[in-house]
Amino acid sequence: MNRHFHDSRYYLSRAVEHARLGVTESVAPLVSRVRSRIGRDEPEGEEPSRVDRVREDVTALERRAETRVRRTVGSARTRVGRSGSSDADDER
């Protein structure tokens, strides 16, 4: 029986979260209009959230890793190409 309560609580919290997001999305245009009329516009230069900063860091890390892999593969191909050509010369 406890498992059923746990599951019900989980789904209820998800439903509440989705309802909150829906209401926030629906009311956002009204909120921005009211803020602009009372002179409390949201700052445009808002700092990125922690999730955004982590996402940017991960993207930068992926780019660096991709660049390193491309360089390593390129140098390995060059070395293999050089060693293959010297073997072909020895066989003649």
Over its C-alpha atoms, the chain yields an Rg (Å, rounded) of: 29
**0.75 surpassed by pTM:** no
Q: Has residue 19 got a pLDDT over 80? A: yes
* Domain match, 33 and 58 both: no
If you average pLDDT over residues 2-26, what whole number do you get? 92
Number of domains in the chain: 2
Domain co-membership, 25 together with 59: no
Number of H helices, E strands in the chain: 2, 0
Do 90 and 71 share a structural domain? yes
| pLDDT tens-digit readout, 72-90 | 999 999 999 888 665 555 5
Query: Are 54 and 87 found together in one domain?
Result: yes
Distance between CA 49 and CA 56 in Å, rounded?
A: 11
Q: Which amino acid is at 12?
A: L
Q: Place 58 in a pLDDT band, splitting at 50, 70 and 90.
A: very high
Distances (CA, A) of 45 to 21, 30, 41, 59, 75: 24, 21, 12, 22, 43
Q: For 25-39, how does the pLDDT look when each residue is reduced to its tens digit (9 = 90+)? A: 999 999 989 988 888
58 and 31 housed in the same domain: no
What domain range is 90 assigned to? 49-92
